[in-house]
Structure 1
Amino acid sequence: MEPKARVVFPLSFMLFITHWFQLAHHGSAAESCTYIVHMDRSLFPSVFSTHHDWFESTVQSTKSATLGHSFMESQTQIVYSYNHAMYGFGAVLTSEELEGIKNSRGFVAAYPDRNVTIDTTHTFEFLSLASSSGLWHASNLGEDVIVGVIDTGVWPESESFRDDGMTKKIPSKWKGTCQEAQDFNTSMCNFKLIGATYFNKGVIAANSTVRISMNSARDTDGHGTHTSSTVGGNYVSGASYFGYAKGVARGIAPRARLAMYKVIWEEGRYASDVLAGMDQAIADGVDVISISMGFDGVPLYEDPIAIASFAAMEKGVVVSSSAGNGGPHLGTLHNGIPWLLTVAAGTIDRTFGSLILGNGQTIIGSTVFPANALVENLPLVYHKNISACNSVKMLSKLKTEVIIVCDLVPDTKLMYKQMSVVYEARLSGAVFFLNGPMLNDSGIGTFPSITISAKEQTFVGMKPAPAVAVYSSRGPSPSYPWVLKPDIMAPGSNVLAAYTPHTQQLQLATMCAAHPEWSAAAIRSALVTTASPLDNTQNPIRDYGYPSQYASPLAMGAGQIDPNKALDPGLIYDATPQDYVDLLCALNYTMKQILVITRSGSYNCAKPSFDLNYPSFIAIYSNKTMSVVQKFRRTVTNVGVGGGTYRAKVTEPKGSVVTVSPETLSFRYKNEKLSYSVVIKYRKHKKEEISYGDVIWMEDGGAHSVRSPIVVAPSGIV
């Protein structure tokens, strides 16, 4: 008798926290295309009443002077004027017209617009957030913090965006609007969703004949609705995902205000629109910018997110971005921008799905097919000649009305191959076995299948958790590898949030509400130095990209965020805008390249330095040298209630000797600053490898523990 079985499955989660924007130039030298042009604000001619007038005059004069084109034939046009995220404009130009712009007064730099592509109910419990204590209590659930989400728009009818329980007075600093357009009117905004605007001039400039199917801030993709409700969605009772995760859903900051800036379109995805959205968010007075996108293969002075986030940082706006979706390979991380927070994606302690045998025994597994889509009363089939599940031809010899049991495989790569083969063979269902921890972010979701670990797991309280998700991009960042990225890890897999009916981000809002006086760097420092490198079994966090290994800081940063500890970190590493400029100077950026990022000539290169006051350390050694000695200097600020004494505890990376001086820091009063140095001496082994450790400042009495990860790595990984 073949055993009968029933398999219970949920639908594929719409996990979009780390889908990312890829770069591709469009147009050619002989054609018109959109360029982003940076101008020097200090050279603004007083004859013009507005900056836009100056930009328009510059473009028009270039149009008139261009040889080989009549005035009427030229396609030159202003697409956007930028005044907050950057200073300059976007315009459609021919190559000849671009050369004319380069010779005009005030020109700084120009580069082509870039075509781009996109990159979270139980989560708050997993992060130990409770309304009666900790960060949620201290921030009053993020009350009145304004989060600007740069994304695909919003579905305003979702219950996550109801304003029940919100205070009826929007902060006076808010200058934004609710833009009326196709299938979107001003009444759809409220005291929760306080703003919704859209930007698609870049899309239209790239293709003048394009027809925008949803020409408004309404979301038809789902990504923006999902991420914004994850950040600040209101309480929604009776939420579930096709029968799974039943309960009350809410965002990380359920009392925060939300503003959506739609910059991603089905018809095109362009940097000029992204930049326009960030420009408007800064002008509108947001406290936090949440952005799930990034640019690969460009220097900081041509990266719109780097440029816009510098402006945001100057104004005290915290920018949070994801690490990317290119894992598990090293060096795939983008947004390695020193002045923003880069977040890796981790798993949580929840999985869905079960295999129920004919005798009633239930085996817990992981699946991405609906709970209410039952595949039942079918025979389980295992045959030694075909259960390798690696041949469509062999599997096709079976009756399709069976559930195939595939052989145990050692890694996810082989399991994904099995999934593809079984799907192509069109069998009714499959059971896959993995010799390792349960990958609760696995599955292809297009047919009934379940993955079972060699060790049985439970639905909630899965151990070990968290782990670094397979897809999360790893550092270091090619754009700037000398700052350790990512900074931290947060839940990015199996996160339930709102979505459109048609089709990771952080608790920065709550941190800003609890500590409105802190800079963006201070908030980042608090999150980094209190993050945990341990999972819920109190063992080092594992890397699902390499299941046999523990995760390095290049995969998870300092570790999993601990929002309650971040509320009171003890010490912080702060940084000023000039500190970041000193770093750019050390990179030998020209003054024009620095001006592109800073928009102001008020900064100087008097003290160039690679040694940014960052809450982590990375030493990169050359493949040609046998040893490296690198010295870092750091300054910490005491944000505890009063004085306190901290002593250094060091875990040295393999092959390294780490010296901290002084070994004791004694603070007399709150906000006192003290400095120390770290010297890393590394001697290369025959085998090049990445090694890691940490420096922990332990307060006498155990009240605070301030941890900074250390990475020593060969330059070949960049």
Structure 2
Amino acid sequence: MGIYICAIVTKRIPINMKTNSIVLLVFHSLFLFLGESSSASHNGVYVVYMGAADSRNSSLRSDHAHILNLVLRRNDNALVRNYKHGFSGFAARLSKEDAASIAQKPGVVSVFPDPILKLHTTRSWDFLEYNSHVIIDSDRNTLSNSSSSSDIVIGIIDTGIWPEAASFNDKGMDPVPSHWNGTCITSKDFNSSNCNRKLIGARYYPSPGGDDTLASSVRDSVGHGTHTASTAAGSTVSVASYYGLAEGTARGGFPESRLAIYKVCSEFGCTGSSILAAFDDAIADGVDVLSLSLGPSPSFHPDLMTDPIAIGAFHAVERGIMVVCSAGNDGPYPNTVVNAAPWILTVAATTIDRDFQSNVVLGGNKVVKGEAINFSPLSSSPEYPLIYGETVRKSDMYIDEARQCHQDSFDESKVKGKIILCNGESDTLYPPTAIADTVKQAGGLGLVHITPDKNRGVASKYGDFPATTISTKDAPTLLQYVNSTSNPVATILPTVSVINYKPAPMMIYFSSRGPSTLSNNILKPDIAAPGVNILAAWLGNSTEEVPKGKKYSPYNIISGTSMSCPHVSGFAGRLKSLNPTWSASAIRSAIMTSATQINNMKTPITTDSGSLATPYDYGAGFITASGPLQPGLVYETSTVDYLNFLCYIGLNTTSVMVISRTVPTSFSCPKDSSSDLISNINYPSISISDFNKKGGVVNVSRTVTNVGEENEIEYSVAVDAPSGLNVKVIPDKLKFTKTSKTLSYQVIFSLTSTSLKEDLFGSIKWTSDKYTVRSPFVLAK
């Protein structure tokens, strides 16, 4: 039997790219082709999902055992994984016909081919504190740097861990919590002593095919998992940097927390069956927060019952575990956000107030700002010949190819010893690192690369090679100088870290955008957090070239929603520690309703292209460090809300009863279930789709719970609505008492015009003398 493959190569692998990008593009296409042909003509691994593991209906448990035994009788080697802790089901090698047959049996919710998901890839915490616009007079107002420990366990489902990294030391921590049920699985390169009072759990899941590096150990061979784990929960390390850049104190969002590692990914991706196994184990182990910086491609649209992350997260949240996921790296295009189930906290990515500048100095000491990470050995004086790529092209190459510095486009005799100016304003095929490799291989001394403004913000890494990128707005200065000077000269300065950079945060181009293809009636992403040029722990054996004169760096700087996700995961762990009785939805609500939409210039947050950001970009806004600690009110999204959501998207009562372990025996799907009702789920944001088709008037309701220190408190409502829209809130005041801690309100949206011409954005704020609780709303035409 073969392995069913739906392969998706990661777009942004957080390592230096030395491979020609055309080869990568062909490789990417080849894997997609192989995936399609495998699904059509080969047997493979299928996931059989059978809902709750401890359903009150004993016949369902019998169904699981019967179907599993049936599979094993046919083929002893068919079983790949068995899910029995957090939910029921298994993964097995099945023929297409057997998979279809099993899907019809009682107790089976869904059967689907095992997909391969992709990875979505320290000043950031200081920036979160400094950029907090909600100031509360409280001892809990800042992030802690103490060496104490907490019993909160943050689980990282990723590529494993490099346990020797300083970020995972357990100095000053108490013994492992008594409630912890997990384990550290050993291997030839990972023994029991690699776990400690910080790293208390480590599991890995061999590939169903048994033929890749994922099978051998929990040790990280990619770096991604180590980076995300240290961002979420790394211990405080006083001196950290990337070869001297971004120097400072490194710490995770919750340094006092414990870590549990679940390795499900290799450099080739993450199998859905392994992700489900990790969720199953994590639920039984006793984690409090789960962080997943991975997900499907936006071109792959699994429904909720065939999406491994959505399935696993549902059962985790049902048991009180917070699940935080990255939104994806396929922006700035709309409808690209993934991990959009309403029980998941979905995180977009922003810049922080640190920039990595590598400037170009022209003859006459004219300075042009550049962005890159390099350790240029060139003189600071502009003494090196500077030429435009199109002037040194081979005679048989198109001028556009030489202008953009494509491979094999140069007459190398004219390139050697010179800094090459390449114009990549319209080049979408070759990334800057590939252009640098081309120039270097042709004998060039350095590279100045003009890149579209929308692609700036992420500093590419070039090692010792003098290379930098400049924006299109600065391009005329360079081009005029090169074209009007008989012997143009320049130099490229080594990178310096610039802090207090403004404006920040900005929404970065790669961060996936809403609205969600899962449902336009739930706003996704939920929140934005730092995800650009983030410094965190790395592998101890990386093959990345060490700059001359430098010692190997145990830290790395990479970007992606993979990096923004653990920022929120760590903060969620802190909130859980301070408020152990809070549900996952209460924690999500606290983070969302206290978010800011203002940058460090005290103006509205923009995208990196300069346009105003909207809730489709950042959800509720940018996470703050102080507001979530005392949110005042929270929106509790109950399990019944989630069950109703399943009804609204088309599942019937029988299926819902099988899926949930806590479903009331009296539960049944509403008779008039429709996707429109999703807008009424008690979510911290409001999203209404197809507004024009609903007669121009829509009424939604919400319920809030007082979690503030005051039993007696009154809130007043304030609405920020665009012109052409009336928003009426009933009542306009909420008076909480000792006996009335939960109150509801209605919102009536109506148009003053005949129809929406474009999607509208606004917010509803409940304010008291001490708290502000903000919910964004979106009305889609």
TM-score calculated relative to the size of structure 2: 0.78
Contact 1:15 1:495 in 2 (8 A): no
Q: 1:229 offset after TM fit, Å?
A: 0.5
Contact 2:615 2:621 in 1 (8 A): yes
Structure 1 distance, partners of 2:204, 2:433, is 40
1:259-658 superposed matches below 5 A: 259-266=260-267, 269-295=270-296, 296-355=300-359, 357=361, 365-371=369-375, 374=378, 378-379=383-384, 381=386, 391-393=400-402, 396=410, 398-404=414-420, 424-425=438-439, 426=442, 427-432=444-449, 439-443=456-460, 445=462, 448-452=466-470, 459-503=498-542, 504=564, 505=566, 506=568, 507-544=571-608, 547-595=609-657, 597-598=659-660, 602=664, 604-605=667-668, 607=670, 609-610=677-678, 611-621=680-690, 625=693, 628-642=696-710, 643-658=712-727
Q: Report the counterpart of residue 67 of structure 1 in structure 2.
A: none
Corresponding residue SS for 1:224: helix
Worse-matched range after superposition: 646-655 or 376-385: 376-385
Cα deviation code 1:353-380 (max 9, x no counterpart): 3326489969584533333655766426
Structure 2 distance, partners of 1:125, 1:264, is 30
Contact 2:119 2:294 in 1 (8 A): yes
Q: 1:165 offset after TM fit, Å?
A: 2.2
Q: Report the counterpart of residue 3 of structure 1 in structure 2.
A: none
Q: Partner amino acid for 2:620?
A: A
User: Paired residue for 2:43, among 12, 32, 56?
Assistant: 32
Cα deviation code 1:268-326 (max 9, x no counterpart): 63100011011111110001000112234011122111111111112111000010111
Structure 2 distance, partners of 1:519, 1:193, is 25
Runs of 5+ unmatched residues, structure 1: 1-11, 17-21, 65-70
Structure 2 distance, partners of 1:671, 1:513, is 26
Corresponding residue SS for 1:107: coil
- Does the C-alpha gap of structure 1 residues 712 and 27 become closer, same or farther in structure 2, counting only changes over 3 Å? same
Cα deviation code 1:121-152 (max 9, x no counterpart): 11110011799751534998872210000000
Q: 1:697 offset after TM fit, Å?
A: 1.4
Contact 1:141 1:253 in 2 (8 A): no
Q: Partner amino acid for 1:518?
A: W
Q: Partner amino acid for 1:160?
A: S
1:656-671 superposed matches below 5 A: 656-669=725-738
Q: Report the counterpart of residue 171 of structure 1 in structure 2.
A: 177
Runs of 5+ unmatched residues, structure 2: 1-12, 18-30, 133-137, 478-495, 543-563
Q: In the comparison of the two structures, how many residue pairs are matched?
A: 674
Worse-matched range after superposition: 387-396 or 178-187: 387-396
Structure 2 distance, partners of 1:586, 1:246, is 50
Q: Partner amino acid for 1:520?
A: A
Q: 1:98 offset after TM fit, Å?
A: 2.8
Corresponding residue SS for 1:306: helix
Contact 2:691 2:779 in 1 (8 A): no
- Does the C-alpha gap of structure 1 residues 421 and 28 become closer, same or farther in structure 2, counting only changes over 3 Å? closer
Cα deviation code 1:622-666 (max 9, x no counterpart): 67x596322210111112221222221111135322221222222
Worse-matched range after superposition: 238-247 or 591-600: 591-600
Structure 1 distance, partners of 2:435, 2:268, is 33
Identify which of structures 1 and 2 has the higher relative contact order when contacts are C-alpha pairs closer than 8 Å and 6+ apart.
1
Contact 1:595 1:601 in 2 (8 A): yes
Identity of aligned residues (%): 35
- Does the C-alpha gap of structure 1 residues 141 and 339 become closer, same or farther in structure 2, counting only changes over 3 Å? farther
Contact 1:369 1:448 in 2 (8 A): no
Q: Report the counterpart of residue 216 of structure 1 in structure 2.
A: 217
1:113-124 superposed matches below 5 A: 113-119=114-120, 121-124=122-125
RMSD of aligned C-alpha atoms?
3.8
Corresponding residue SS for 2:780: strand
Q: Partner amino acid for 1:499?
A: W
Structure 2 distance, partners of 1:418, 1:99, is 47
Corresponding residue SS for 1:351: strand
Q: 1:682 offset after TM fit, Å?
A: 3.7
Q: Partner amino acid for 1:159?
A: A
Worse-matched range after superposition: 80-89 or 333-342: 80-89
Structure 2 distance, partners of 1:139, 1:693, is 40
Worse-matched range after superposition: 583-592 or 485-494: 583-592
User: Paired residue for 2:157, among 141, 150, 154?
Assistant: 150
- Does the C-alpha gap of structure 1 residues 704 and 162 become closer, same or farther in structure 2, counting only changes over 3 Å? same
Corresponding residue SS for 2:696: strand
Contact 1:182 1:214 in 2 (8 A): no
Contact 1:120 1:226 in 2 (8 A): no
Cα deviation code 1:397-454 (max 9, x no counterpart): 65342334567x9x79789788866764554323356796993315474853323466
Cα deviation code 1:230-252 (max 9, x no counterpart): 00111223211122011221111
- Does the C-alpha gap of structure 1 residues 307 and 13 become closer, same or farther in structure 2, counting only changes over 3 Å? closer
- Does the C-alpha gap of structure 1 residues 686 and 521 become closer, same or farther in structure 2, counting only changes over 3 Å? closer
- Does the C-alpha gap of structure 1 residues 524 and 267 become closer, same or farther in structure 2, counting only changes over 3 Å? closer
Q: Report the counterpart of residue 19 of structure 1 in structure 2.
A: none
- Does the C-alpha gap of structure 1 residues 349 and 87 become closer, same or farther in structure 2, counting only changes over 3 Å? same
Q: 1:668 offset after TM fit, Å?
A: 2.6
Corresponding residue SS for 2:295: coil
Contact 2:635 2:682 in 1 (8 A): yes
Contact 1:694 1:709 in 2 (8 A): yes
Q: 1:473 offset after TM fit, Å?
A: 0.3
Contact 2:433 2:462 in 1 (8 A): no
